[in-house]
Structure 1
Amino acid sequence: MTAGDSGTVEWTLSGFGDEIDQDPRIQAAVLLALGARHLEVRSAWGTNIVELDKTQLDRLRTELTDAGVGVSAIASPIGKVQVDLPVEHEVERLDRAIAAAEALDTKYIRIFSFYRADGVAPEDVRDATLERMSALAKRAEQAGVVLLHENEKDIYGDIPSRCLDLITSVGSPALKIAWDNANFVQVGVRPFSEGFEALAPYVEYLQVKDARLADGVVVPAGEGDGELAETIAGLRDRGFVGFASLEPHLASANNLGGWSGPIEFGRAARAFRSLTDRSGVSLV
């Protein structure tokens, strides 16, 4: 995650392994073939990352290490619950994500900012959301990890203004942004035009997928309305040198994840690399 000797910016390519296969060994093999030496762990062997026990985490670490693949982030489901649950509910689950991050040698944990009941306005759950996000960030600070808030539809932080509200109101060095262009598109936002300038200082991690404004369908990078080319150039110009993690969702998607399979995952990787090549960004 550095600037290359020739002046070319280098970003570290990663991807959601469970969009390829349930078997981490197959996940690693496909990612390596696509030029990625890291993966983002959401699940392994069909089990969510926060449900893996110590034996399973040790096995996962061994298999990935043997394959020569590192872990860019823990793609946890923390915050994908109703905001009226007790504060301690997600803090306790975060402890499981922290244990996974420690076992797999990564400092990043993806989180979300809570669902609300039907008919409830975002401003009506702002205080409860901030209370819970602050508690999560405090625990992350204690553990020495960084929480990456991913913008997603139906949570508090779905649009740029509320993402900014979360980050600045919590005000923790342990809470940053995982930027997702497609998710912004799916809530009617043109990501670069309407959100990049305000949020760029807090972007720590890039989730790579695109979508069409007309119908919300997810497509390979550059084929939708997510302004991926502009986003790549904007991050490059700001000196971003972090992880870019492929989350294609090209075959199916649900509120806990998505699926692409090896062939479609490869198509997504090639589309993204085409964009970065044209922007002078090298994926390593």
Structure 2
Amino acid sequence: MITLTGFADEISPDLELQLDVMASVGISHIELRGVWGKNVLDLSDEEVAQIKKRLDERGFRISSIGSPIGKISVTDDFEPHLIRFRRAIELSRAFEAPYIRIFSFFIPEGHDAGDYREVVLDRMKQLTRIAEQEGAQLLHENEKDIYGDVGERCLDILQACDSPHLRGAFDPANFVQCGVRPMTEAYPLLAPYVDYIHIKDAMMGSGKVVPAGEGDGELRELVRELKQRGYAGFMSLEPHLSAAETFQGYSGPELFVTAVEALKKLLVEQDVAWN
């Protein structure tokens, strides 16, 4: 059975409204990225304790720490980032989150990603080795303009790091925005490494984000494949449906519900159960 989760900060910066809307659509897990307008890594210990208390009181669990680790330029100083990475690990323990989402560094505009392969792989290996030592489970998300933005380079990272502590978070819309057909081109390469699914869809060419099943993200094919595979992990809603997104990708309560309904429709079509 698939477990639904999502980036509740797309609903509102307010924790209680996040939980209200998630509860109203029957979702009891959250991919924690932001609360009260603050990125998860910037929360104080007191704020973490307060959030954890409310999550426990209302029966919510955290599926993943939606960290921004690796979402800096490959030319930026890496050492301060390692400090933030260790904070992400601390938070994964505090929230009992099984995963930490990371990225593989933005490539300077106009430069070839291959020119930065060695430094990217070195950094990713450092993150992976720390995760191994600390017992943390990392998820690399394919994201436009980072090194691992297309299937071949995602595979390069995963094979080079060669660790069960680094797996893939598969994001169909992000592949579409890179001109990659997710299921036709990327998934066949990455299938053995995919442990987590981000649900958003997009139109090829314009890159416009749309509800699941309404774009070129091959979401129906993805759900069908996951059913055949017997996938029983998380599907995390990251709608990005607002025309005026904030840094955290604000969608608002109504559009978030629209995104949930679109995904549930796809799951019903394929006779896939969820909780």
TM-score range, shorter chain: over 0.9
The residue number in structure 1 matching 2:29 is 38
| Residue 206 of structure 2 is aligned to residue 215 of structure 1 | yes
* Residue of structure 1 equivalent to 2:156: 165
Deviation at 1:203, TM superposition (A): 0.5
- 2:95 aligned to which of 90, 93, 104: 104
Corresponding residue of 1:278: 269
Q: What amino acid is the match of 1:239?
A: G
**SS at structure 1 position matched to 2:30:** strand
**Counterpart-to-counterpart distance in 1, 2:166 and 2:82:** 14
Amino acid at match of 1:244: M
Contact 1:14 1:40 in 2 (8 A): yes
Q: How does 1:1-284 map to 2 (within 5 A)?
A: 10-252=1-243, 256-284=247-275
Task: Name the structure with the higher strand share.
Answer: 1
Conserved? CA contact 1:209–1:220, under 8 Å: yes
Shift of 1:75: 0.3
How far does residue 215 in structure 1 lie from its aligned partner after superposition?
0.8
Report how far residue 257 of structure 1 moved. 2.9
1:50 aligned partner, one-letter code:
L
Q: Secondary structure at the match of 2:230?
A: coil
Q: Secondary structure at the match of 1:282?
A: coil
Residue type at the aligned position of 1:283: W
Between the aligned partners of 2:235 and 2:117, the Cα distance in structure 1 is 30
TM-score (norm 1): 0.94
In 2, distance between residues paired with 1:38 and 1:176?
20
For residues 215 and 86 of structure 1, the distance between their equivalents in structure 2, rounded to whole angstroms, comes to 33
Q: Which runs of 5+ in 1 are unaligned?
A: 1-9
Give the unaligned 5+ runs of structure 2: none
Q: May I ask how many residue pairs the two structures share in their alignment? A: 275
Task: Tell me the SS of whatever aligns to 2:170.
Answer: strand
TM-score by length of 2: 0.97
Q: How far did 1:173 drift?
A: 1.2
Deviation (angstroms), 1:87: 3.5
Distance in 2, matches of 1:169 and 1:250, equals 35
* Structure 1 residues 206 and 183: CA distance shift in structure 2, 3 A: same
What's the counterpart of residue 7 of structure 1?
A: none
Amino acid at match of 1:153: K
Q: Residue type matched to 1:166 in 2?
A: I
Superposition RMSD in Å: 1.2
- In the TM superposition, residue 253 of structure 1 has moved relative to its aligned partner by 6.5
Q: Secondary structure of the residue that 1:215 maps to in structure 2?
A: coil
Q: The residue matched to 1:14 in structure 2 has which SS?
A: strand
The change in CA–CA distance for 1:255 and 1:162 in structure 2 (over 3 A counts) is: farther
Deviation of the 1:252 alpha carbon: 4.1
The structure-2 alpha-carbon separation of the partners of 1:140 and 1:256, relative to structure 1 and needing over 3 Å to count, comes to: farther
Distance in 1, matches of 2:133 and 2:271, equals: 38
Residue 236 of structure 1: CA displacement? 1.6
